[in-house]
């Protein structure tokens, strides 16, 4: 499991290492995860249900939304949970969780789980879903992120590079930002090489210059951005700087995209499947390349429109039950992706296999200059701050090289002055003086992938 020795935090002791409290806890989790990945699916499910029993008891006692839901359906939590009982728990749609607002919060979070820290799905468009993180959910997030590094045998001495979303002003081109180590996931436990990051709002030319200068060993970015970068390098007739591995995050990686990225960089691509609300859902198998559900973190179901479990090979809605979030429990929550299970993996791990995920795809913003950009749509709450009007849903549609449409689901339509303020905001965010047209529909439907899309281009693929 470990290619290198952890850092020892005790003076004079180098080998075997004695980690500090945080390091020891993370290593203890890896020790268990190393074993549990090989358990049979039945044994894994037994332990999931044991953990679920604790979560359900807590939710029924302290979370108003679940107290009401279980009450309405006459659900009594049994001593032992089995699959039959689990499936009697009603599915919670994104909309139901959104409408629940504070009723999804526990009124009595165990103090040792730490303080609640609120995130909001930036599903930006999406109606925001309110969910909290705690010290416990953070601990598990770090553990599964580290498992991904260990599974894929990454050399921590190498240089890590990331081109991803940051707020305006952070890691901006041309220089980006640099750190002496790999950050919170790895650096507290292992000696690492440096890392560098660049805001994905950079143009493709700036990204390529940055890659040439920084020469990272490992590169992390969004599939849509990597495909655009590969196409740009090809069009310019220039070679992409070599990397040891590319890691994709944040969007669904399609088969065609994977092939394009692999061909352009002549290296393997490793994808992860996460969601903001529950962290790591699946990691790519280091042997077969299939996706293994992180069953120690989440119960992941795939169901058809009637809520019936889909057999391997049949596409359905993904439901997740996040096993350790006691602050805002998510139980049989429809996360908004479609996926299909695969057959057991040849590697011998008992962790369930997902063959394909159909989730978020992202279009790029096309500029009249012929360049394309990762669309920067601002931060959650920008429009509300500019106008004082609460935004329920948001979508930006590019109709032409001159015009974008803002679809806003609001408490009330914006007046002319408010529209002018939001137009100026969007022009700043998009980095080009597009004509901004407004529409105020009652609802914005999901895109073809099943996700709410915050940016749609009608002129790019």
- Binding residues for Zn ion (CB under 5 A): 285, 288, 345, 347, 349
Of 177, 185, 198, 176, give the one whose Cα is nearest residue 154. 185
As given in the structure block, the two tokens for residue 394 are: 């948001």
DSSP secondary structure, 266-330, as one string = TS-EEEEEEETTTEEEEEE-TTT-PEEE-TTTEEEEEE-TTSPBPPTT--EEEEEEETT--SS--
**Quick one: 332 or 349, whose CB is closer to Zn ion?**
349
Taking the least distance from each CB to Zn ion, the nearer of 343 and 415 is 343
Helix (H, G, I), strand (E, B), or coil: what is residue 259? helix
Q: In the bound complex, what is the minimum distance in angstroms from residue 335's beta carbon to Zn ion?
A: 23
Handedness of CA 183, 188, 189, 190 (dihedral sign): positive
Q: Which is nearer to Zn ion, 45 or 221 (CB)?
A: 45
Nearer residue to Zn ion within complex by CB, 125 or 284: 284
C-alpha separations of 420 from 386, 416, 423 in Å: 10, 6, 5
Is residue 385 within 8 Å of 350, Cβ to Cβ?
no
In the complex, minimum distance from the CB of residue 288 to Zn ion, in angstroms, rounded to a whole number: 5
DSSP at 92: B
Tell which phi-psi region holds residue 111, choosing left (phi > 0), alpha (psi between -120 and 50) or beta. Answer: alpha
Our CB check for Zn ion shows the closer of 1 and 10 to be: 1
Question: Measured from the CB of residue 285, what is the shortest distance to Zn ion in angstroms?
Answer: 3
| Integer CA distances (angstroms), 197 to 158, 211, 408, in order | 14, 10, 32
C-beta of 37 vs 224, nearer to Zn ion: 37
Of 343, 280, 339, nearest in space to 146 by CA: 280
Which of 45, 112, 97, 108 has its CA nearest to residue 66? 97
The residue among 38 and 118 lying less far from Zn ion, judged by its C-beta, is: 38
Q: For residues 292 and 364, which CB has a smaller minimum distance to Zn ion in the complex?
A: 292
Minimum separation from the CB atom of position 284 to Zn ion (A): 9
The CB-of-351 to Zn ion minimum distance in angstroms stands at 7
Q: How far apart are CA 352 and CA 350, in angstroms?
A: 6
Q: How far is the CB of 158 from Zn ion (least distance, A)?
A: 24
389, two tokens: 């009007």
Cβ atoms of 342 and 353 within 8 Å: the answer is: yes
């Amino acid at each position: 499991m470990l290619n290198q020795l952890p850092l020892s935090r005790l003076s004079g002791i180098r080998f075997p290492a004695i980690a500090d409290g945080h390091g020891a806890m993370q290593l203890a989790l890896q020790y268990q995860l190393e074993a549990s990945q090989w358990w049979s699916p039945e044994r894994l499910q037994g332990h999931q249900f044991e953990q679920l029993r604790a979560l359900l008891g807590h939710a029924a006692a302290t979370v108003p939304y679940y107290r009401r839901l279980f009450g309405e359906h006459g659900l009594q939590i049994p001593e032992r949970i089995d699959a039959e009982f689990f499936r009697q728990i009603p599915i919670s749609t994104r909309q139901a969780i959104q409408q629940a607002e504070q009723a999804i919060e526990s009124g009595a979070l165990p103090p040792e789980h730490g303080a609640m820290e609120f995130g909001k799905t930036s599903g930006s468009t999406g109606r925001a879903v309110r969910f909290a993180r705690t010290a416990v959910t953070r601990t598990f997030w770090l553990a599964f992120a580290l498992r991904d590094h260990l599974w894929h045998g990454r050399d921590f001495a190498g240089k890590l590079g990331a081109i991803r979303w940051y707020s305006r002003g952070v890691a901006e081109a041309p220089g980006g930002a640099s750190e002496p180590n790999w950050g919170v996931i790895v650096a507290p436990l292992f000696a690492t090489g440096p890392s560098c990051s660049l805001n994905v709002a950079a143009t493709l030319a700036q990204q390529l210059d940055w890659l040439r200068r920084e020469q990272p060993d490992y590169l992390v970015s969004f599939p849509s951005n990597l495909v655009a970068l590969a196409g740009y390098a090809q069009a310019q007739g220039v070679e992409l700087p070599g990397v040891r591995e590319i890691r994709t995050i944040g969007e669904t990686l399609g088969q065609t995209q994977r092939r394009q990225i692999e061909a352009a960089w002549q290296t393997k691509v490793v994808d992860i499947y996460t969601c903001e609300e529950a962290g790591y859902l699946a990691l790519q198998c280091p042997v077969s390349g299939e996706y293994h559900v992180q069953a120690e973190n989440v119960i992941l179901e795939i169901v058809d429109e009637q809520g019936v479990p889909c057999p391997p090979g049949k596409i359905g809605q993904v439901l997740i039950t996040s096993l350790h979030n006691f602050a805002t429990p998510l139980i049989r929550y429809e996360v908004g992706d479609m996926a299909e299970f695969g057959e057991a993996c040849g590697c011998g791990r008992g962790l369930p296999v997902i063959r394909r995920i159909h989730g978020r795809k992202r279009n790029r913003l096309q500029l009249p200059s012929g360049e394309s950009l990762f669309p920067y749509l601002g931060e959650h709450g920008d429009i509300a701050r500019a106008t004082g009007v609460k935004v329920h849903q948001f979508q930006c549609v590019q109709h032409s090289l001159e015009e974008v449409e803002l679809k806003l689901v609001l408490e009330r339509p914006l007046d002319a002055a408010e529209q002018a303020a939001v137009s100026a905001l969007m022009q700043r965010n998009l980095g080009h003086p597009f004509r901004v047209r407004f529409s105020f529909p009652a609802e914005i439907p999901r895109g073809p992938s099943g996700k709410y899309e915050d940016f749609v281009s009608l002129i790019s693929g």
